[in-house]
Amino acid sequence: MRCNQEQLEKIYIQSLDNSIISYLSEKKGIDNRISMDIYYKSQLCIQIHNGENGVQYLDYKYLVEDLLENEKNLFM
């Protein structure tokens, strides 16, 4: 079975989501379920899943730092 570009992109985004959630959990010392909830409510998640400005190709650690800096309201 061959994967097309769209399938590969979907797999890549799922992997990126997992990396962001795990790193956010580690960085903040919170449970993965809480990190998942925060991430999926974020504008960052929307941008990644919409492919806005190629943000999905940035390093997951950078993206977590961006999330922490620019979406502080999610951590209250």
Residues 69, 21: Cα–Cα separation, whole Å: 16
Instruction: Name the 3-class secondary structure at 71.
Output: coil
| Residue 27 domain boundaries | 5-75
Residue 58 confidence (pLDDT): 97
Tell me how many domains the chain contains: 1
- The residue ranges of the chain whose pLDDT is under 50 are none
- How far is Cα 41 from Cα 19, in angstroms, rounded to an integer? 16
Give the global pTM: 0.93
In the Cβ-directed half-sphere of 15, how many Cα atoms lie within 13 Å?
9
Q: What is the pLDDT of residue 64?
A: 98
Q: What is the pLDDT of residue 1?
A: 59
The one-letter amino acid at 23: Y
pLDDT at 2: 73
Q: How much is the pLDDT for 56?
A: 95
Query: Which phi-psi region, left, alpha or beta, contains residue 57 (left: φ > 0; alpha: ψ -120 to 50)?
Result: alpha
